[in-house]
Amino acid sequence: MLTGRLTPFIALAVAAVSSCVWSNGQAELMPPRLEGTIVSVPPPPVEVAWAARVAPTEQQSAELDALRSGARAHRLASPAVREAEALACAGLPDDDRDVSPFFYRDDIVDVQSLRASGGSRPGQLDGAVVTFRRVEGLTARHLQRALDCQVARNVALRYSAADTRWCPLAVRGVRARAELTERGMEVRLEADDADEVTETYARAVALLGARGK
């Protein structure tokens, strides 16, 4: 008799649990699903196998922790950074939001000057071309999103963050475009102002000298 009385309650409980999703150990109610409706589940964030993520040196681990902490501090202190991240970084893994792709210097195989092919000053320095090796999980689309995210964050910070002064993406006015080529994953860095171009190129070249450190 007792079992018969509990049966409707158990059915209701099962239905309630079935209509929940779990986030951080907490149940969150989902809207009822209509018969025949296909529920779209977003794919998990792409994890890129950068060398400094897979097997970081002691120094790289410390640098990564410092960059993550700095990004968190910027986020807490600046509504502009939070807005920029919401628009340009949505869906990226935390490290791709907080850490510039150019931090992963051990995956850089080449840096070349980018020079104008025409115009009034053919041959003038326009920026740099940085080539990464082909890294597992890294596509041109993903890299472009990470580049755009970093540029948006630097704009929001007004290029004033001391912890990114080594990064080519932290130069005022820089533009970045990723492309998969036969040589690897190339990033073209350009700017309009001559001083910005020079600084962008200098920072890119410095990354080569910092490999293995």
Which tokens go with 20? 């929940």
CB atoms within 10 A of CB 144: 15
Predicted TM-score (pTM) of this structure:
0.77
Beta strands in the chain (DSSP E): 20-23, 26-29, 108-115, 125-132, 175-181, 184-190
Q: Which residue has the tokens 């850490």?
A: 99
| Helix residue ranges per DSSP H, 19-57 | 51-54
Predicted local confidence at residue 213, as pLDDT: 78
pLDDT tens, residue order, the chain (213 aa): 444 454 444 344 434 434 443 334 444 444 445 455 555 545 556 689 999 999 999 999 999 999 999 999 999 999 999 999 999 999 999 999 999 999 999 999 999 999 987 655 677 899 999 999 999 999 999 999 999 999 999 999 999 999 999 999 999 999 999 999 999 999 999 999 999 999 999 999 999 988 877
For the chain, counts of helices (H) and of strands (E): 7, 6
Residue 72 exposure: Cα atoms within 13 Å on the Cβ side: 8
152-167 burial code (b ≥16 CB/10 A, e <16) = bbbbbbeeebeebeeb
Question: Nearest to residue 134, comparing CAs of 48, 60, 203?
Answer: 48
Provide the token pair at 165.
């002064």
Give the integer Cα–Cα distance in Å for 44 and 47.
9
- What's the pLDDT at 212? 77
pLDDT (0 to 100) of residue 30: 42
Neighbours of 185 (CB within 10 A): 23
Q: Which of 135, 83, 86 is nearest to 108 (CA)?
A: 135
Give me the sign of the Cα torsion angle 23, 25, 30, 33. positive
